[in-house]
Amino acid sequence: MEDDIDRVLVGRDQIATRIQELARQITADHTGAEGETEITLVPILTGAMVLAADLMRHMPVRMKIGLMTVSSYPGRSLRTQGSNVLGTQLGDISGRHILLLDDILDSGGTLRRVVPMLQEMGPASVRVCVLLRKDRPAARETPVDYVGFEIPDEFVVGYGLDFGDYYRNLPDIVTLKKAVYAPPPP
Ligand code: 5GP
Ligand code: MG
């Protein structure tokens, strides 16, 4: 797996530092005059599960977890094929403050589909946090509340992000060598 890495774009220490900053900011933004508000953290699976696990342990607030599974880059595709909500496990989110987490903001298609779907369920608020935002107009035009890192418009893996469902367990955000993307021999 290590041999497939081309470049490290965002290293594990940089990620850890930024996650603590994000957690502090998000926690402060969810603390009102009457004290803290409860949060329902909703990671978009599978990509945001690593982000969720790290972020939540720096957020000392009462929280519940909701889950949504969305597929946008099925299999070995490198461009979004349109996002598909495969399943949800949200419980009753009416009146609750939702913090939606995604690994990366690319075309914005996922958030355009998922945010209105959550809003229809009557939550008190929906805020969105993405770990990465690609440098392309479609991504910049999609409203989000928190961004971990701005990255170039390249295909990345690691820290939850996959290629063909592999590489999610890499601790750094990396690009892969060109040969990895070559179609498998017949
Ligand atoms: P969007 O819906 O904004 O186009 O893309 C969001 C989803 O597409 C992400 O949650 C992620 O699953 C996938 N995606 C977008 N860009 C990349 C990338 O560079 N690498 C990987 N592994 N997945 C990506
Ligand atoms: Mg994803």
Q: How far apart are CA 142 and CA 133, in angstroms?
A: 10
How would you classify the pairing of strands 39-45 and 97-105? parallel
Tell me the C-alpha to C-alpha distance, in Å, between residue 74 and each of 68, 139, 143.
Answer: 16, 20, 24
Q: Name the residue at shortest CA distance from atom 16 of ligand 1.
A: 106
14-28, 60-74, 167-181: range with lowest mean pLDDT: 60-74
Arithmetic mean of pLDDT, 44-55: 97
Answer whether residue 35 shows pLDDT above 80: no
Q: Name the residue at shortest CA distance from atom 15 of ligand 1.
A: 106
CA distance between the termini of the chain? 22
Q: Is the peptide bond before 46 cis (omega within 30 degrees of 0)?
A: yes
pLDDT in tens, 95-121: 999 999 999 999 999 999 999 999 999
Answer whether residue 74 shows pLDDT above 70: no
Ligand 1 proximal residues by C-beta, below 6 Å? 47, 72-73, 80, 83, 102-110, 155-157, 161-163
Tell me the C-alpha to C-alpha distance, in Å, between residue 70 and each of 42, 48, 84, 112, 169.
Answer: 12, 11, 5, 12, 19
Residue 105 Cα to ligand 1 midpoint, Å, equals: 6
**Partners of 147 in the beta sheet?**
130
pLDDT in tens, 113-157: 999 999 999 999 999 999 999 999 999 999 999 999 999 999 999
Percentage of the chain with pLDDT > 70?
96
**Partners of 85 in the beta sheet?**
70
* Total length of the chain: 186
Domains of the chain (ranges plus CATH)?
2-26+38-179 (3.40.50.2020)
Active-site residue among 54, 103, 106, 172? 106
